Structure 1
Amino acid sequence: MKERLWKTGMRRCFAGLLVLVMVLSSLVTAVASDVTMTQEDIETVIEEVARRKNIPPVILKAIAWKESRKTQFTSAGAPFVSRGNRGIMQINQIHTGFDAEMILYDVEYNIEAGADILLSKWLDPRTPVVGDRDPNVLEHWYFALWAYNGWLSRNNPNLHGENTYQDGLYNLIHTRYGQEVSMVDWSYIPASGLPPADLHLPEPAVTHEGGILFFQPEDRALADARQELYVLDGPGGDVRFTVTRGTELVIAGEAQLADGLYWYRVNHPASGQIGWVAAIYLKPAFVHEEAADDALWSLLLEPAIPEPLHDENDPHGEAEADHAEHVEGEDGEAALDIQAVEAVDPVQSSENVPSENVPPENGTSEEQDDPDTIEAALMSLTESGEIAADQPADLKEERQEKAEVSDSGFHFIDMKDHPAREAVETLAALGVVSTSSAEFRPHQTISRQEIALMLHRFFRLGDAGLSQEALYQQLSAYQDGATVDAWAQDAMARAAALRIVTGYPDGTIRPHEAATREQGVVMVVKAMEDQVLPDQRCASDYFEDGKSIHAWALPSVNTLLKSGIFEGLDHTAFHPQQEMTRVELAVVLYRLHQATLEE
């Protein structure tokens, strides 16, 4: 009997050990995957989580940078922990509702946890309110950001001015991401201590949109609750019916703001039932239109050149991205097109983060190319990823020939029903974008090296009369020149030699950093042999927000305006400091291509 019990016990022990080994093995695999994530990958995750949670992406990015410089693991591969706070979002141990292991080892889970904590502060009735508590207004997040750092009197701005946690975040949003943010009126906040829960600050005279995702009628979304999603009879009303997580719902109306959340009337196709759901519980499945006031994306609304493959009257949009940096020169004049400077050290201003063992924002030279990354979709049709040396002399003639096959099968899965399908397929036929990936990922922000590669392929950039060796030395002049991916080195070297892309004051060129719309336009115009109109400032009057276009970018925006790229727009907002997306650049190049064929 004892022997049988002993054997049974051993079998159970062995089985338990086997399960433990399997769990640890899966954990190690997940950790290995997350440890190798680049800063660009992490930035993408932050954007995706912010869009799902209806949080302005720049808000979540600023928190991630201030808390940890977007660091989940140390250089040794161990979870990044500081004063008991864990990972990218520095999740405190007092937050016990999360899986402790996943907080340490899962990047997306850690970011989602931070987003959920921020939302809990946003929705807490004890948190004071700014304006009408619109989550798409950056200034309205002031007290929620204060609370994210702990609802502490040390963050009272009347005691510490702009050195508080929340004001430091707004300063970071401005200096690092180039987004203007207005200061709230501190005079309404008590001179010391904490403001009362019923405090309601008037919003500043000028506010700034955060670029959250807005669904449109007929968009499809998935229920994104932990288990069951309660569908209500009205915003904040009673439960009408429930659906399980992952159930597809169809948006049946415009967004309505109520109690700090945007709500949507949804249709459950399987049952025909209709009810209301808060946006924070909806995950995009298929979005027809995201934000109709995006200027570059609106180029397809009323194109100046006929585009027979799609309906010109069909409204389209692209979600407002967040923003990149800018700087003025030391002499007070406008700086070069893409230069930037960090006015503060965000890490030193953070109360939770040490200044050591934190990797640089833009990754290191040890990063490896991943065939599934965004960059892989831009790799050349050739095996080497480089442009052939024997380029045709008559680029216009070649484009005319290739334009005839622009609809001959260069299809991306995510462009099948997209309004910019013709533009992207035409560029694919011209070899400007690659068909080596099944997806184009139109709404991803586009990095500086990706823009350089597309411009190289479209304009066939020259070499500035340099030898091949001298050409590549252009990159070695920058501290991070070695981090330019192999597939982009030739294009980046040519762009640097021609001053299409220039370095930052700190000696870096930041190939993986996203470019803003105005920066992207400057690069395009410089690739057009610098056809700027320095004495004409028409764009500042043409666009609703034209006055916010920086002086160093305005001549280039004017050039595209004069060339007809923006025809069909009537004082539409340009959003110059928002990050450019892949499809926006594709549309600009497509319209330049069409204009060339019409000449």
Structure 2
Amino acid sequence: MHKKLLGLVLSILFLFTFLVDYGYAQDARINPPREVLEKKIEEVAKRRGIPTVILKSIARVESVFQQYNPDGTVYTGRKGSIGLMQIYNKYGWFDTNRLKYDIDYNIEAGAEVLLMKWNMALNKLPRIGDMNPNILEHWYFALWAYNGWSKSNNPNMVPYKYPTWTKKYTYQQLIYLVAEKEYGQKITPIDPKLLPKNGLPDKNKHYDTPQPFHYGDIVMYKKGDIVKADVKTSLRIRKQPNGVEIGRVIGGTVLDVLEGPVLKEGYFWYRVKQRDGELEGWVVGNWIVKIGEKEEYPLKDIADCWAKDYILKLYDMGIVNGDSNKKYYPNKSITRQEMAILIARALKLEGEGYELNYADKDNIKDWAIDYVKAVSKAGYLDGFEDNTFRPDRYITREEAALMIARILGDENIEAELTYKDLAEINPQFISAVKVAGKYGIMLGKGDGTFKPKEPLTRSGAAKVIVKLLEVLNQKADNQ
């Protein structure tokens, strides 16, 4: 009995210790160890595109890494600034209660405030160099403005006395001192001789990057990375870096990085594509986080293709295998003989003993001849009135619809078509287009058109085959 009681007491003590050390004492209101806080700050800084030494040094200067006072009350500044990052919430940008009792939220708020000041440095304050945020010296004016764009941070006016205290250093000087003494990172300040003797520098002034300059540790993404939008509401997608907005995605949306980084107007931009959608454009790297790397696909050129899942399914089924370079060429249009191969393989058609009588049969490639025989024998892909097959001609969308209808044996249905370009569809294909739409195998474009004369792409062909097989399987199950 005593052993069980002792074990229970030890378990409770261990749990309490774990909560204090690693639960960050949100309920107990005890400051976590500095190393724990620094790790948290580093994680936030890396997510937000801020050099970690900058954000850690701010926390050191602002609160000496305190969220709470020794008596458990929230550490509060003279003007009511809150917690670890000393957030002054006069304008209600943040949740005051969370600033007080959620350390993670307080750090996030500090990073957001600093980015607001960085944006000020791009638009309303003097600029430095090319404003590459990964050069530590470029944060000088953003740091000056962290607690307000005040003349008291002009180094030519310090030291001097306030009514109740003496100021020995400017805010940015304190940050630089902490960075060097506590983190071993030197940062070269702007020469005070270049600044006005008093007051604020001209906001239109452009300073050269102080020498020597030093790089930070901002996380850069690369082509092939998988990221997600890390925003509270929505992330803007732009036509080009810092260009016009073309759309938005909500927080959590998964994106593939296609290109970047590109430095433009003080931010690193990345061209991304919505993984489960068509939206593609440029986003700021501060509001995306990496969640993985692009998979290695058996076909080298499908990673960024909207139809990659369909293509992979056909690859796994042995219906497609790519060329000698292991490429599928998803954006190319598909020829009639190539479509014959997909159909014959997918439906396991045989053309043995069937003789082709097309006038141009000698133009059919050796690697396609048996498949053309198979689809011709089945009656799924006809020749033309002049008795040619035209193997290298691209198959059109309306021709693909006719093929679908013939395979399903459902060429006549009652359905209304509302495509804007309905008049462009050949009358003999109208019923087939209805069938393709009825089963969701081929639908219109995003602009409400069907584009009947447009060649079917190899991506579109992969989708058609997969969807067609699904419908055939459903029909078989219902019989």
Give the TM-score normalised by structure 1.
0.42
What amino acid does structure 1 have at the position aligned with 2:176? Y
Q: What is aligned with 1:180?
A: 186
Give the aligned partner of residue 275 of structure 2: 269
For 1:330, the equivalent position in structure 2 comes to none
* 1:208-265 Cα shifts (integer Å, max 9, x gaps): 0011111111111110122121211111111222211101111111201111111111
Match of 2:145 in 1: 147
Distance (Å, rounded) in 1 between the aligned partners of 2:91 and 2:98: 13
The separation in 2 between residues aligned to 1:215 and 1:54, in whole angstroms, is 11
How far is 1:95 from its partner? Answer: 4.0
Q: Structure 2 residue aligned with 1:123, among 115, 119, 134?
A: 119
Q: Quick check: 1:70 aligned with 2:55?
A: no
Question: Can you list the C-alpha shifts for 1:378-402, whole angstroms capped at 9, x where unaligned?
Answer: xxxxxxxxxxxxxxxxxxxxxxxxx
Q: Distance in 2 between matches of 1:286 and 1:69?
A: 35
| 2:31–2:67 CA contact under 8 A, matched in 1 | no
Within the candidate set 221, 231, 252, 2:237 is matched to 231
Deviations 1:323-359 (A, max 9, x none): xxxxxxxxxxxxxxxxxxxxxxxxxxxxxxxxxxxxx
Root mean square deviation of aligned Cα:
2.0
In 1, Cα distance between equivalents of 2:173 and 2:245: 39
CA distance in structure 2 between the partners assigned to 1:282 and 1:261 by the alignment:
13
**Contact 1:250 1:267 (C-alpha < 8 Å) held by counterparts:** yes
CA deviation profile, 1:502-559 (whole Å, cap 9, x unmatched): xxxxxxxxxxxxxxxxxxxxxxxxxxxxxxxxxxxxxxxxxxxxxxxxxxxxxxxxxx
**Structure 1: which amino acid aligns with 2:48?**
K
In the superposition, the TM-score normalised over structure 2's length comes to: 0.52
CA distance in 2: counterparts of 1:157 and 1:74, whole angstroms: 31
1:200 aligns with 206
CA separation of 1:265 and 1:29: change in aligned 2, threshold 3 A? closer
Match of 1:60 among 55, 59, 78: 55
Q: Among the aligned pairs, what percent are the same residue?
A: 39
**Secondary structure of the equivalent of 1:141?**
helix
Q: Which residue of 2 aligns with 1:134?
A: 132
Q: CA 1:276–1:256 in 2, change beyond 3 Å: closer, same or farther?
A: same
Cα pair 1:121 1:127 within 8 Å, conserved: no
5 Å matches for 1:333-372?
Answer: none
> What per-residue deviation string (whole Å, max 9, x for no partner) do you get for residues 414-433 of structure 1?
xxxxxxxxxxxxxxxxxxxx
Gap change, CA 1:79 and 1:198, over 3 Å in 2? same
Specify the alignment match of 2:224 in structure 1.
Answer: 218
How far 1:36 moved relative to its partner?
6.1
Unaligned runs of 5+ residues in structure 1 are 1-27, 289-599
From the superposition, tell whether residues 251 and 176 of structure 1 become closer, same or farther in structure 2 (CA, over 3 Å). same
Q: CA deviation at 1:30?
A: 7.9
Amino acid at match of 2:59: A
Tell me: CA distance 1:36–1:73, structure 2 relative to 1, closer, same or farther (3 Å). Answer: closer
| CA–CA distance in structure 2, aligned partners of residues 286 and 79 of structure 1 | 38
Q: Could you tell me how far apart the structure 2 residues matched to 1:221 and 1:77 are?
A: 39
Give the 3-state SS of the residue equivalent to 2:259 in structure 1.
coil
CA distance in 2, matches of 1:219, 1:33: 40
Number of equivalences? 261
The structure with higher relative contact order (CA 8 Å, sep 6+) is 1
Find the counterpart in structure 1 of residue 36 from structure 2.
Answer: 41
2:76 corresponds in structure 1 to 81
In structure 1, give the amino acid aligned to 2:95.
D
Larger radius of gyration: 2
After TM superposition, the structure 1 = structure 2 runs for residues 318-329 of structure 1, keeping only pairs within 5 Å, are none
Corresponding residue for 2:18?
A: none
Q: Is residue 34–residue 107 contact of structure 1 (8 Å, CA) maintained in 2? A: no
User: 1: distance between equivalents of 2:256 and 2:235?
Assistant: 14
How much does 1:196 deviate? 1.5
Does the aligned pair in 1 maintain the 2:24–2:32 contact within 8 Å? no
SS class of match (2:26): helix
1:51 maps to a residue whose letter is K
Matched, 1:258 2:259: no
Structure 1 residue aligned with 2:462: none
Corresponding position of 1:110: 106
Asked whether the 8 Å contact 1:30–1:105 carries over to 2, the reply is: no
Question: Match of 2:443?
Answer: none
**1-structure distance, mates of 2:293, 2:193:** 42
Change (3 A) 1:90 1:29: closer
Superposed displacement of residue 284, structure 1 = 2.3
Paired residue for 2:171, among 165, 170, 174? Answer: 165
* Alignment equivalent of 1:283, drawn from 262, 279, 289: 289
Q: Report 1:454-465 matches (<5 A).
A: none
Change (3 A) 1:146 1:224: same
User: 2: CA distance between counterparts of 1:103 and 1:265?
Assistant: 34
Cα gap change, 1:129/1:29 in structure 2, threshold over 3 Å: closer, same or farther? closer
Counterpart secondary structure, 1:263:
strand
Quick one: which amino acid aligns to residue 132 of structure 1? D
Q: Structure 1 residue 176: deviation in Å?
A: 0.9
Equivalent residue for 2:350?
A: none
Query: What's the counterpart of residue 346 of structure 2?
Result: none
Query: 1:33 deviation in Å?
Result: 6.9
Judge conservation of contact 1:221–1:250 (CA < 8 Å) in 2: yes
